[in-house]
Structure 1
């Protein structure tokens, strides 16, 4: 069993020095950004950095993803050419709103896609987007852009969107979504509180913009030893019950164990599983 990534560290693709540092910062996944963090005149340099980043990932290192520019924008074609056949784990597709575009990108690149939903139009079509192509690997929110598009005046206005994206992902059989970034890098207490709400409401990891945020995200999204022991006991009890032809039993502590309880326990074990890049 391989751990579900808890952290996804964004790094500007045109900053080769930062890319190299990000690869050893301790994140479970690194996202080389070709989009918002890269000035227009450095887009080509950022694309060229993808191959170097792939070569620099050490055995057991983080997953390497790339956030491309909008496929329908001026840099989309060149970005997709750069990532196709590059050896990366997958791409993050920004401003996802059109299932047709998702299908076209999937066919063109052959890469797993995490769809970043940043507009009201994309949010309204989340269930269609989630099933647009077999290579859709997950959904997520780009909360800053989405807040602007929805004309929100408070973070609380995103609560329903967060719940909806969790539902849309799970209804399509996709992994639970990854939380959007916490932009106030200095506010680690706020990051912790927000991440704890995220985990409680169905998210399984978080995008970050600075390595100093990694310990907090890992702490929140890594089950405690006690939680792991309880989960392992639940799965063991269920396996023993299944061998007897039963599907719902009481465990040794008198707790009811049914398939739903077992599924939650398996999620805990996935979050706690070792990964080659674990630190």
Structure 2
């Protein structure tokens, strides 16, 4: 079995601090559940893969583990966020109660700390195991200090990992400013990326990203990805190298399955490979690990 379910979902208010609490909860469970993993991938419910799982794992398997790369989209240009998020005191009742409740905003502003610099970015991140251990196990005071500050910060999941990684010497040089996710914004941009559709299909593939979103539920673009990229039949899982076939012609190719560690990469994975080679060429060339190849 290679799937674990956390259990009953926690109450989450996207404008509060419960989203980062939910992510950290999942990361902590993963650390205790299994040792043999290298990256923690955080996705939203409206995201979708645009390469196969085998392609994703195959390409990442060539990345040097000693670099502890973290894919975190970030920016130090916080602008208006300083006054509307960072110095504003916000209490998310979902941290203390079983329901979302209404956010409480304090009437007084707090001073911005000088011990660290704030960064902001996408809430969707891909973190190395070493960085997750650093964050969860409390090997340093900074993760706890930041968590206490961000627990009363609006939309804390848009700044916690960015601020922590960029202010930690051990990990600041391991950050790749991308979350390997394809999104599109309206012009002028709104508060969130717009929903993707079938007409965006070529741009999605051309980006080389591993994931895309957000999508509307049962959108036609998802059927297109299933048919042309994932080769996933209706009501079935996306097949991988572990699928040994079905009992009859036209049946589920994953009805009989074998070793889950066997990968069967497809030509579509080369787009993802090229993206990574554009993002991290200097780090790869300075490592003793070979470049991505087949």
**Which structure would you say has the larger RCO, counting Cα contacts within 8 Å and 6 or more residues apart?**
2
Radius of gyration: which is bigger? Answer: 2
Alignment TM-score, normalising by the size of structure 2: 0.28
Alignment TM-score, normalising by the size of structure 1: 0.30
Which structure has more helix as a fraction of its residues? 1
